[in-house]
Amino acid sequence: DAGVTQSPTHLIKTRGQQVTLRCSPKSGHDTVSWYQQALGQGPQFIFQYYEEEERQRGNFPDRFSGHQFPNYSSELNVNALLLGDSALYLCASSLLTGYTFGSGTRLTVV
Amino acid sequence: KQEVTQIPAALSVPEGENLVLNCSFTDSAIYNLQWFRQDPGKGLTSLLLIQSSQREQTSGRLNASLDKSSGRSTLYIAASQPGDSATYLCAVGDNQGGKLIFGQGTELSVKP
């Protein structure tokens, strides 16, 4: 049974560019959440998608947006990249309770 | 606003030692609490999930306790091994299926 799959694993972008990260949830999971983890810090909640709608959002600017598809997979989009957006981006899927995390996408903004 | 704190930030122990990692949270109205392990540069692996109605959960050499009234959870690791070296994160769930609020983690090093 495949767990949560994220792509790409690593990404380097230039300030001002836009980036899209992808996540396929664990089989049977219908909810996808995204987290940002800066080096040496705990993950910070970005937003959560359920039934293709944003259900909950953390304290992140509108430059961060997302989407969930009918097959429950999800995308995280970040516009106008800043150096401070460099982080590990984690996707987590769940069904009711208990989370399964992917291995993350390491984004470096130069 | 819920805040989660983990103490200590880093811990180094000799192999075979029993150890306790601490997690505290400011708002006792939690739905559940989850402990994760993170290897360097990797994603999170779930270790134990405790529902708000439970007091503890056990898996192998790991035991996690939850005291909602005092806003505390502990992760007990018995007979530590070098392979246990990683960062351990606790996270509080604010409602069913809702967001997780993480502590900053405890970096554990187990020396052979």
Question: Across chain A, what does the average pLDDT equal?
Answer: 94
The pLDDT score that the predictor gives to residue B37 is 97
Hey, what amino acid is at B14?
P
Residue A13 burial (C-beta neighbours within 10 Å; 0-12, 13-18, 19+): middle
Kindly state whether A43 is in contact with chain B, defined as any CB-CB distance less than 8 angstroms. yes
Alpha-carbon span A78 to A64, nearest angstrom: 5
Alpha-carbon span A22 to A11, nearest angstrom: 12
- Which one, of B2, B92, B6, lies nearest residue A99 by Cα? B92
Banded model confidence at residue B66, pLDDT cuts 50, 70, 90: very high
Q: What is the pLDDT of residues A89-106, one digit of tens each?
A: 999 998 876 789 999 999
Does the beta-carbon distance from B102 to A40 stay under 8 Å?
no
Alpha-carbon span B19 to A19, nearest angstrom: 42
The pLDDT score that the predictor gives to residue A110 is 97
Contacts 24+ apart (CB under 8 A), A60-67: A60/A36, A66/A34
Based on its alpha-carbon atoms, the radius of gyration of chain B, rounded to whole angstroms, reads: 13
- Which one, of A78, A81, A92, A90, lies nearest residue A49 by Cα? A92
Q: Which residues of A touch B42 (CB under 8 A)?
A: 103-104
Mean pLDDT of the A20-48 span: 95
Mean pLDDT of the A27-42 span: 94
Give the closest of A6, A43, A97 to B97, CB-based: A97
The pLDDT score that the predictor gives to residue A96 is 73
Does the beta-carbon distance from A43 to B99 stay under 8 Å?
no
Phi and psi at A84, nearest 5°, equal: -70, -10
Lowest-confidence segment of B20-24, B32-36, B38-42 by average pLDDT: B38-42
Mean pLDDT of the A10-20 span: 98
Banded model confidence at residue A1, pLDDT cuts 50, 70, 90: low
The pLDDT score that the predictor gives to residue B19 is 95
Sort strands A74-78 and A19-24 into parallel, antiparallel or unpaired. antiparallel
